[in-house]
Amino acid sequence: MRIRATHGEKTMKNRRLRAGLLVLSLVSAAAAVGAAAYRYAAAPVAGMAAGHPADAAASPTRDGLPERQAAAARDASVDLLLDRWAGHVERVYGTAPAAWKRAMRPSLARVGERELGPALAATSFDAMMAALVLQPTSAVSSRGVGPEGAKAVPAGDGAYNVLTPCRLVDTRNTASRIDAGSILDIHVSGAGYGAQGGAASDCGVPADAKAVVVNVTVVQPDAPGYLSVFPRGAAMPLASSLNYAAGAIAGNEIIVGKAAGSGPAVSIYSYARTDVVVDVVGFFGAAPAKSLSCQKVVWVSTLPHANYGSPSAECPFNYTLYRYSAAVGGSCRWLDQVQGTPPPGQLSGAVYSGYRYSCEGDNFSGVDQRIETTAICCDVVPL
C-alpha cells in the first residue's frame, strides 16, 4: 500500500533537505580555508626555486583564493611558526612564550610571503629568524663602495673586513624593550650573544677591532623618536643615527667605534620605548690578507598601478671562482617620481640569498612606475 505524503510532511522534508545542504556548504567552506592554510604553510614561496629576479607584480591573494581565505591562511601560518619556536625561545632566552609571540606579531604582520615560506621551512631558530628579514621603511647605506671597486676601506689605522651578517641583539627574544630615554649597552665581540637575544655563536668580530658596521632596526616604537649609537663610555653625539615614527619598522646601516676591552663595547640610546634588532656585517681592524673588488649591478623594472612587486638585481656569476659575487648592499628608488611629490608607495630593500638585492614596493600612484634596483656585488681577491 502506497502512503501519500501530506502537504505538511512535504514541507518538513524540504526544510530538512535545505538544512542539510546548508551544513554541507559550511563544512566545504571550512575545509577550503583549512586546505588553504595547509597549502600556504607547506608550499614554497613562488619564485624562490627559480632563483631569478621576480619582475612581474605579485597577486594580492595566494593561489587565486578570495581575500578572506588568503588572510585566514596567512594567520594559520603565523600561528604555526610562533607555536613551533616559542618553546625554544623559553628554553634558550628565558622568555615566556606569550611574551615572545606578542613581541613578534607586529614584525610578522609586515613580512611578505617570500620570507614567511622559508621561515616555515627552516630547521633551526637562527635560520628561521634570518629568513624573516625585517623590511625597514628606510635604509641608508654608509659604506660608499663605488662601482670601480675598493680595497680595504681605511678607518684610522684599520681596514674594513666583511662578515656574513650575524645577529648581535634582538630584544624581542628577551622581552626587554629599550625604555624611553634609556641606554642599552651591548657586546659586539665574544663567544655568543644569547643574553642579548642574538646568535649563540661567535659573529667573527675580534676583541681588538677598532669599529663595527651594524644594521640597526627599530621595531614598533611607542612614539616618534630617534636612536643614537656610539662607543660605550663616550659622550652621546648630538646627531641621531636613526629617526623613526611611532609603530614603524625602520633601519639604518651604521659605522660605530668600539670601546676597548672584553665588556659591552657599544651603547644605543632611544628616545622612545622600542624593540631593537642589531646585525653586524663587518668591522674595522687589522688589514686582511685579501681585498675586495666590487661593482654595481642595476636592474630597472616596471610596476603597474595598484600592484605589489619585488624586483631583484642579481650579482654576476664568477666563473674563475665558480660562484656568484656576494651582494653586500644596495638601494631602491622610484625612477619616475617627481621631486617634491609623495612617493608612489612604500619601497624598501634587502640582500637575499647572498647574491642578489631585492626591492619590495606598492604602487598606488594611478599610473605605472619604474623601480631601479641596485646591488653592490663584491669578490674577495688576493692583494
Of 325 and 140, the one with more pLDDT: 325
Q: Which residues pair with 315 in a beta bridge?
A: none
Q: 67-93 and 113-121 helices cross at what angle (nearest 10)?
A: 50
What's residue 32's pLDDT? Answer: 46
State yes or no: pLDDT of 164 exceeds 50.
yes
Percentage of residues in the chain having pLDDT higher than 90: 25
State the pLDDT confidence band at 318, using cuts at 50, 70 and 90.
Answer: confident
| pLDDT tens per residue, range 289-315 | 677 788 999 999 999 988 999 999 999
What's residue 55's pLDDT? Answer: 41
State yes or no: pLDDT of 98 exceeds 60.
yes
The most confident of the ranges 27-31, 211-215, 247-251 is 211-215
Q: Which residues pair with 285 in a beta bridge?
A: 159
| pLDDT tens per residue, range 365-383 | 889 999 999 999 998 877 6
The most confident of the ranges 29-38, 84-93, 128-137, 272-281 is 272-281
State yes or no: pLDDT of 204 exceeds 60.
yes
Q: Residue range 67-86: average pLDDT?
A: 84
Average pLDDT, the chain: 76
| pLDDT tens per residue, range 178-194 | 999 999 999 998 878 88
- pTM recorded for the entire structure: 0.51
SS (H, E, C) the chain: CCCCCCHHHHHHHHHHHHHHHHHHHHHHHHHHHHHHHHHHHHCCCCCCCCCCCEEEEECCCCCCCCHHHHHHHHHHHHHHHHHHHHHHHHHHHCCCHHHHHHHHHHHHCCCCHHHHHHHHHCCCHHHHHHHCCCCCCCCCCCCCCCCCCCCCCEECCEEEEEEEEEEEEEHHHHCCCECCCEEEEECCCCCCCHHHECCCCCCCCCCCCCEEEEEEEEECCCCCEEEEEEECCCCCCCCCCEEECCCCEEEEEEEEECCCCCCCCEEEEECCCEEEEEEEEEEEECCCCEEEEEEEEEEEEEECCCEEEECEEECCEECCCCEECEEEEEEEEECCCCCCCCCCCCEEEEEECCCEEEEEEEECCCCCEEEEEEEEEEEEEEC
CB-count burial class (<10 Å; 0-12, 13-18, 19+) for 262: exposed
State yes or no: pLDDT of 86 exceeds 70.
yes
Q: Residue range 258-275: average pLDDT?
A: 90
**Boundaries of every domain in the chain:** 54-131, 154-285, 290-382
State yes or no: pLDDT of 328 exceeds 70.
yes
Contacts 24+ apart (CB under 8 A), 296-300: 296/146, 296/147, 296/374, 296/375, 296/376, 296/377, 297/374, 297/375, 297/377, 298/372, 298/373, 298/374, 298/375, 299/53, 299/372, 299/373, 299/374, 299/375, 300/335, 300/370, 300/371, 300/372, 300/373
Please state which of the ranges 12-16, 117-121, 287-291, 301-305 shows the lowest mean pLDDT.
12-16
Grid cell at residue 92: 634558550
What's residue 223's pLDDT? Answer: 92
Of 157 and 220, the one with more pLDDT: 220
What's residue 374's pLDDT? Answer: 94
State yes or no: pLDDT of 31 exceeds 70.
no
Single out the residue of 245, 216, 220, 271 nearest to residue 104, CA to CA.
220
Strand order in the sheet with 275-285: 154-155, 158-170, 275-285, 211-219, 249-257
State yes or no: pLDDT of 70 exceeds 90.
no
If one looks up domain 154-285 in CATH, what number appears? 2.60.120
Question: In this structure, are residues 249 and 217 in contact, taking their beta carbons and an 8 Å threshold?
Answer: yes
Grid cell at residue 323: 660562484
State yes or no: pLDDT of 75 exceeds 60.
yes
What's residue 18's pLDDT? Answer: 55
Q: How close are the terminal C-alpha atoms of the chain, in Å?
A: 105
What's residue 39's pLDDT? Answer: 43
What's residue 312's pLDDT? Answer: 94
Residues in the chain: 383
Q: Which CATH number, 1.10.10, 1.20.1260, 2.40.50, 2.60.40, labels domain 290-382?
A: 2.60.40
CB-count burial class (<10 Å; 0-12, 13-18, 19+) for 44: exposed
